[in-house]
Amino acid sequence: METIEDYLSYLEAHGRRPNTISTYRLYLERALGVLEEAGLPTDPESIGVGEIMIVKTALGDVKEGTRMRYCFVLGQMVEHYTGRNPFNEADIMWNREIPKRTFITLDQFRILCLNANPQTRMVLVLGAFLGLRRAEICGLHDSDYDLKRRTLTVRGKGHGPDGLVTIMDVPEVLAEEIENYRARVRESGLPREDDGLVQNDGRGIWRSLTPATLSWMIKSLSEKCDIEVTPHTLRRLYATTLYNEVGADLNTLRVLMRHTSVQTTLTCYVNADPQRLLDASDRASEVLSGVLGC
């Protein structure tokens, strides 16, 4: 669809990342596909509040939050061409879903590491020691790791072709893990398809992990150990360790987590930690029990 491609070219020229462009293409193609199937025009001038509501209703097979993103992106494209945003005009009321956030303890992390194969272990330590996201781990190259300076260049969320680029210090223990993993790759004698820092050796060749492969690896380990864990759980472990065990203040934690707002750090990591909530509840019970003379 020419309209979509022109809009995506505009976004790309203004610094949107390839992953964002890919997601927007998926959303827009499906949203306009819904309108086509309904026999409705798909040019931006013809898309109004009614069309937004049709898309929202037709996508009943996806979660409500995802449906809203489809409609939001469609509204943005229409606004780009016409100056009006039918999504905003619709003023849709919706129930914001509370995301399920999984946390693990340090003991559970130890069990996962002991039962992981070398590739999955690298994912575990990069996520827990540096708080890296799934896509950030998959995007690491050999050249991003500076052995002499013991630093790692990470491309995170943000605008521009490389996103927010951060040079992170690598703890000594993590540096040893990286070198041990690299040695294993060299000693395997298998060819390498690319220069990904973390690779999988399926089908007799080393190749970089994709986000889907990484998630599958963690899911398999989760089932093996009977511990509920996702790739982002490791980032939460990094945050809770810094806050609960190290005693980092909130602003330091925000910087290390590479968050723009401390509110994100509080809402998604600190205040969402179930163990912290349980500990606080237990302490409150102890204080109140003392008042009652129990």
- The verdict on residue 101 lying in a domain is no
Instruction: Tell me what pLDDT residue 253 has.
Output: 92
Instruction: Tell me what pLDDT residue 159 has.
Output: 58
Instruction: Tell me what pLDDT residue 127 has.
Output: 97
Clarify whether residues 164 and 191 are in a common domain. yes
Instruction: Tell me what pLDDT residue 52 has.
Output: 92
Last residue of a domain, one of 225, 251, 271: 225
Clarify whether residues 127 and 221 are in a common domain. yes
In the chain, which stretches have pLDDT less than 70?
Answer: 1, 93-99, 158-163, 272, 281, 293-294
Clarify whether residues 78 and 159 are in a common domain. no
> For residue 163, how many other CB atoms are within 10 A of its CB?
20
- The verdict on residue 102 lying in a domain is no
Provide the whole-model pTM: 0.68
Clarify whether residues 84 and 182 are in a common domain. no
Instruction: Tell me what pLDDT residue 263 has.
Output: 86
Clarify whether residues 218 and 125 are in a common domain. yes
Instruction: Tell me what pLDDT residue 158 has.
Output: 64
Instruction: Tell me what pLDDT residue 98 has.
Output: 59
Instruction: Tell me what pLDDT residue 170 has.
Output: 95
- The verdict on residue 159 lying in a domain is yes
Last residue of a domain, one of 90, 121, 154: 90
- The verdict on residue 99 lying in a domain is no
Instruction: Tell me what pLDDT residue 161 has.
Output: 62
Instruction: Tell me what pLDDT residue 96 has.
Output: 57
Q: Distance (Å, rounded) from C-alpha 132 to C-alpha 145? A: 14
Clarify whether residues 121 and 19 are in a common domain. no
Domain hosting 188: range is 108-225
Instruction: Tell me what pLDDT residue 93 has.
Output: 62
Could you please report the per-residue DSSP string of the chain?
-HHHHHHHHHHHHTT--HHHHHHHHHHHHHHHHHHHHTT---SGGG--HHHHHHHHHHTTTS-HHHHHHHHHHHHHHHHHHHS--HHHHHT--------------HHHHHHHHHH--HHHHHHHHHHHHH---HHHHHT-BGGGEETTTTEEEEEESSSSTT-EEEEEEPPHHHHHHHHHHHHHHHHH---BSS-BSSEE-GGGSBEEPPHHHHHHHHHHHHHHHT----HHHHHHHHHHIIIIII---HHHHHHHHT-S-HHHHIIIIITT-HHHHHHHHHHHHHHHHHHHT-
Clarify whether residues 179 and 237 are in a common domain. no
For residue 115, the Cα-to-chain-centroid distance in whole angstroms is 24
Backbone angles phi, psi at 74, to 5 degrees: -60, -45
- The verdict on residue 279 lying in a domain is yes
Instruction: Tell me what pLDDT residue 95 has.
Output: 56
- The verdict on residue 135 lying in a domain is yes
Mean of the per-residue pLDDT values for the chain?
Answer: 88
Instruction: Tell me what pLDDT residue 97 has.
Output: 57
Number of domain units in the chain? 3
Structure tokens at 266: 């509080």
